[in-house]
Structure 1
């Protein structure tokens, strides 16, 4: 025997030793030879030889080692090796082992007869305790696939059948309807399926196929998981057992797997069989299938109701981050929404339960609703807000010509303290349900070319390569529905700018581990102070005036000088933020004071504030050059800060007013 074949047999035997336990020995080799040299193995060990060896392995009767196996395999041809192996196993068997009382070899004809007897002796609805008989009902919309499947199972020359389709497309439901389709087509075959979730070894699969009745169909559903086709390398022994068992069985074989895993399956088992693709359902059939799937989910949550908005949302088309198809996708969405509502004690599930972050799908809001929601918090920047919502309205209405791109790529330009960062935070809160959906990057920390490694990770072995949680790609992959804020983008190194070009254009970014983050459901916001000084400069001469149009033109010129055209060309909207007027400052003060009072109320305080206090906080310290930041300082120093004295005295109810042009806080 060639050294390459010996090495291959030893490697396979080592794998069996890991699966069965014990040190590598003769019994592990015997299991391998039962598959690779099947005919010769049966001729030597008999039809029950493999079962006897497996029983010995379960009893942990290990003997022999790698050196012994090499010597045995070098002794001669297959017949000699098997004969010597049978003698060795017999010599080490316990006295009550059946191998002492049986001849070493059983003719293949006798083994086949024993297999048939074993199969016939089992219950009619089960084979070897591994496969259960299917008696499913017909399903609408799958007549084409079921007719083709029945024809392939009737044709003797067709061989095994591969059923492929996207996850959630209804492959399992199709196979459950197969018995009815065969009956209607006049094909007298009984359909059995490997029990879902059962742990079937390669030997079990081989034994099942070899002993299945001649008039049966064996369905191997979810082959991706069983053969680990998603892993590298896949379970080669399982695939080999499938091939060997299919070649020897008189039953018909149907396997099911996801379409994306078909190439790996065909690479392992070329020309395995005919393929039936599970196509997307028509609109009418798809609606019926989705209704059936949703009804099954509701039955699992008795007493729970679903509002109309959630009902529409779960049946919406899949996003790029959802790798399931309907009807399975709709059932998956509804199941999660009902579960989230149930664990918090509610009896009605709403659209807010659809996402893990509690956010509402953007499709539920119209443009004017989003505009109004943003203006509640952001004051004095109506033009900037409307330019943002106009762009987001395209995505919400499914009118985006490039759906793979982010939902919006915006550049917010304006002086400090006018609400650029606050608008980004509000977009995260309104669109995605929480301010926590904001991923903020201070681009002054990316002023060097090596700053790219903080976005996508350094190469393996370098500092930071083992902390992927800090990378932008990991954050977006964990929360694809988010707002990514690139604060002060002009301070980043040009190499960092180039990294974001593919994000703005293709909606993807791959890190050093090969993991790709999808930005298709994200909003990108960049902020910049570029052009602010030029825009605020006074016009020269008597005929020109310092208009908003002139300011935007000067700011645009400054941006074009500082930033490359390929970056500017990928921005959807450049939102110009104007200096805040005293009226806008007063509105912001009202919002901020209300937020501060709500915060204090949650901590046990009762704070009453005069209107004069809000006006005083807005006017004191205001400078157009610094925007609204003075408000936070005033509220913290003059309103919240003065509560320390009352807290020390145990007083929690206070009244704030303006006396002699100053804030006075007294006990309520």
Structure 2
């Protein structure tokens, strides 16, 4: 065995010794100080040696040994280096590298053994896209010439060959990488990129113990790594692999392994990686824009040809053009080509369930109706009929507000068909004004049920909770690493999961002006970026704001019913002009009259109550006097119909409840009739 002075060390190994000396100063370093230096600098390498190692726990244990002056593992550095040299020789190496020191240090503690190669890690965890392109397994890439050219230029850089594809989910980031692999396979690349394998490693971050091995293999094979889950990698909140993530990226940089990542926005990339300015300056973003309608149509033609071959499904050109048109007009929260491919897939499935071999445009419209929840099942004519039915549906549920409903339907018929000049804006921005309890919230609920199938597609936010400046952050969510990050945003999370929805902002005047500015951006752009860098589209959402402001209170009008101009003047004192100008329509809800309250009782509440008792073989009749009695007690000029439901429950249903057991036939065979009337100023019931 040679003496220590005769042992050759790599630069990395020498640096470990220097760090150990710095850690021990002014004392003499030993194996404990060297182990701390190794674990801090090469945590990935430690996991390669011992996959089950808890790096944090071992570091804490060694720190405690030094603090308590425990001599058990205070092995002289000479012994560590001699053991490391022996391990290097067994591998045919004449120099001690960092990994040999790490193996020696851990072996002295009885930890692990060198991880044997489990085959080719790149082949095990990745896909060789270059080979797939050569064999014709990858689809031909349409367009993307500009993005591919920019990507190749970055990968040819000798110092920083690191690119990040930036584009929304579904925009075609993977297609850019496929296009690169396709060109490498055809030899249509610069000399430095010729015959280089492009490996997609979609599950690399599920196996942090193999990071170092994968990087080493990529370096040896002169490979380009495409890290598709780069965004998830940056987002992962697991503290135990936090250091490993940045160590992994650092290893890539040190070994000059070209890397292609993919994220959904530049802001997200910068926020996640800003903690490492060195990495931030190395990675160059490549913006991936949505394909045009013409390019998307070409993509659909290729997919249709495959469907024809595999499933014997024929998509005529007219059908493909319909897919592009419908996706362009009615699915605005997704980019091309993703939304068109989504419709193609739905239409193919629907055609097969109907045993069709030729897919007509009608199937596309039906599929689009299922995807969006919009009334477009049989094309434009179906939508027109559905919109015509909206007015009747609203008037049957919302009584006494014909003026507001007619205004809403008039504007909505244009917005829902994307006939306006800015189709990327929300599917309607409405301001419902009027006193409380007159049907504003019920109107929003009917819209959600009528167009999107369920009232669960409506999100109601009480703006009373957002009256302070700092509450604007609650709508955007907390940034990565801050308290509340896991909670997300109640607004943006809902819209991201339910893009076709109704967002109800109750009492918008109570919100802070910063909240108004936030929604102004949504009204204008149709989208907003949250604190995590995720861009959420509101293009397919209906936004309804309610307000209880009144012109008489705000600008002094005291005579007659206020006009639309009166309302505008009232809002001019509360909101910025640009905010009001983004509203598609102001729908005025008037105070309810007594006749409206009577209609609500007879048309809304009474049928529901009668059904409840009919199920129990009781036929309920309510006299006009009883309805008048309930109207008087349930009507409040200031609160509208807000108290009406409670009044009906308290006065009528609670009166009936004690009488039901005596009225029920023991066998439930005989139907009984009960009449509700008024005697001596009180409701009374009698069996007829």
Q: TM-score, normalised by structure 2?
A: 0.59
State how 1:221-620 maps to structure 2 within 5 Å: 221-222=227-228, 224-225=230-231, 228=234, 235-246=245-256, 253=258, 255-258=260-263, 260-261=265-266, 264=273, 267-269=277-279, 277-289=287-299, 315-316=327-328, 325-328=335-338, 354=371, 367-398=387-418, 399=420, 401=422, 407-414=428-435, 418-436=438-456, 474-480=489-495, 481-487=501-507, 492=510, 496=511, 498-507=513-522, 521-528=541-548, 530-531=550-551, 550-553=560-563, 557=566, 560=569, 564=573, 566=575, 570-571=579-580, 572=583, 573-578=585-590, 580=592, 584-585=596-597, 587-593=599-605, 595-597=607-609, 600=612, 604-606=615-617, 608=619, 613=622, 615=624, 618-620=627-629
Distance 1:660 1:100, change over 3 A: closer
Distance 1:138 1:500, change over 3 A: closer
SS at match of 1:228: helix
What is the aligned partner in structure 2 of residue 208 from structure 1? 217
Q: Is the 8 A contact 2:400 2:596 kept in 1?
A: yes
Cα offset for 1:238?
1.7
8 Å Cα contact 1:148/1:276 also seen in 2? no
* Partner residue in 2 for 1:172: 174
Q: Residues 350 and 300 of structure 1: is their aligned pair in 2 closer, same or farther, counting only changes over 3 Å?
A: farther
Kindly provide the CA deviation profile for residues 312-339 of structure 1, in whole angstroms up to 9, marking residues without a partner as x. 899357978x5x6343456679999999
1:197 aligned onto 2:206: no
**Residues 150/24 of structure 1: CA separation in 2 closer, same or farther (3 Å cut):** same
Contact preservation (8 Å) 2:617, 2:664: no
Q: How far apart are the structure 1 equivalents of 2:152 and 2:535?
A: 42
CA deviations over 1:580-604 (Å, ceiling 9, x no partner)? 5676555433431465148627x94
Change (3 A) 1:531 1:280: closer
- Give the count of matched residue pairs: 557
Q: 1:77 corresponds to which residue?
A: none
Structure 2 unpaired stretches of 5+? 1-10, 24-30, 68-75, 101-116, 312-318, 350-363, 496-500
Superposition deviation, residue 207 in structure 1: 0.8
Matches of 2:441 and 2:422, distance apart in 1: 28
- Deviation (angstroms), 1:377: 0.9
Equivalent in the alignment of 1:655: 673
* Distance verdict in 2 for CA 1:511–1:454, change over 3 Å: farther
What CA distance in whole angstroms lies between the structure 1 residues aligned with 2:195 and 2:309?
Answer: 33
Cα–Cα, structure 1 residues 7 and 403, in superposed 2: closer, same or farther, change >3 Å? farther
How far 1:374 moved relative to its partner?
Answer: 1.2
The secondary structure found in structure 2 opposite 1:286 is: helix
Deviation at 1:418, TM superposition (A): 4.0
2:651 to 637, 643, 646: 637
Change in Cα spacing, 1:561 to 1:163, as seen in structure 2 (3 Å) is: closer
| Equivalent residues of 1:337, 1:354 under 8 A apart | no
Q: How far off its partner does 1:468 sit?
A: 10
1:88 and 2:64 are equivalent in the alignment: no
Q: Distance in 2 between matches of 1:154 and 1:629?
A: 65
Instruction: Assess, with a 3 A threshold, how the Cα gap between structure 1 residues 634 and 148 changes in structure 2: closer, same or farther.
Output: closer
Contact 1:657 1:665 survives alignment (8 Å) = yes
Question: CA 1:517–1:584 in structure 2 vs 1: closer, same or farther (change >3 Å)?
Answer: same
Give the secondary-structure state (helix, strand or coil) at the position aligned to 1:196: coil
Q: Report the alpha carbon displacement of residue 283 of structure 1 after superposing the two structures with TM.
A: 1.6
Structure 2 Cα separation of the partners of residues 515 and 162 of structure 1: 20
Q: Is the 8 A contact 2:43 2:247 kept in 1?
A: no
Instruction: Write the distance in 2 (CA, Å) between the matches of 1:12 and 1:256.
Output: 36
Q: CA deviation at 1:25?
A: 6.1
Moved more, 378-387 or 579-588: 579-588
User: Do the aligned partners of residues 7 and 642 (structure 1) sit closer, same or farther apart at CA in structure 2, a change above 3 Å counting?
Assistant: farther
Cα deviation for residue 156 of structure 1 reads 9.4
CA RMSD of aligned residues (A): 6.3
What is the alpha-carbon distance in structure 1 between the residues aligned to residue 174 and residue 301 of structure 2? 17
Q: Secondary structure at the match of 1:164?
A: strand
Gaps of 5+ in 1: 14-22, 37-49, 71-83, 112-120, 248-252, 302-306, 340-347, 540-549
Distance in structure 2 (CA, Å) of the matches to 1:67 and 1:629: 67
Q: Is 1:184 aligned to 2:177, yes or no?
A: no
Residues 162 and 254 of structure 1 are in contact (CA less than 8 Å); yes or no, is this contact kept in structure 2?
yes
Instruction: Name the counterpart of 2:94.
Output: 105
Match of 1:325, SS state, is: coil
Does the Cα contact within 8 Å between 1:161 and 1:273 map onto a contact in 2? Answer: yes
Residue 18 (structure 1) aligns with: none
CA deviations 1:149-168 (Å, max 9, x no partner) are: 89769979798463624132
Residues 67-117 of structure 1, C-alpha deviations (whole Å, 9 max, x = no match): 9999xxxxxxxxxxxxx9685144489xxx755767872599xx9xxxxxx
The DSSP-based 3-state class of the residue aligned with 2:290 is: coil
Distance 1:184 1:552, change over 3 A: same
How far has the Cα of 1:402 moved from its partner?
9.0
1:85/1:236 CA distance change after superposition, 3 Å:
farther
For each residue in 1:247-287, what CA deviation from the matched residue of structure 2 results, as whole angstroms up to 9, or x when unmatched?
6xxxxx45232362465599534775887654422323313
Moved more, 200-209 or 631-640: 631-640
TM-score by length of 1: 0.61
CA distance in 2, matches of 1:259, 1:512: 13
Distance 1:229 1:240, change over 3 A: farther
TM-fit CA distance, 1:528: 2.4
Gap change, CA 1:476 and 1:401, over 3 Å in 2: same
- 1:561 and 1:331, CA in 2 relative to 1: closer, same or farther beyond 3 A? closer
Do the aligned partners of residues 87 and 30 (structure 1) sit closer, same or farther apart at CA in structure 2, a change above 3 Å counting?
Answer: farther
| Cα 1:382–1:272 shift into 2, 3 Å | same
Distance 1:142 1:621 in 2: 69
Q: 1:595 to 1:147 in 2, by over 3 A?
A: same
Report the 3-state secondary structure (helix = DSSP H, G, I; strand = E; otherwise coil) of the residue aligned with 1:592.
helix
What CA distance in whole angstroms lies between the structure 2 residues aligned with 1:483 and 1:225? 28
Q: Whose helix fraction is larger, Structure 1's or Structure 2's?
A: 2
The answer on whether the counterparts of 1:147 and 1:181 sit within 8 Å (CA) in structure 2 is no
| Stretch moving more, 358-367 or 187-196 | 358-367
Give the deviation of 1:385 after TM superposition: 0.9
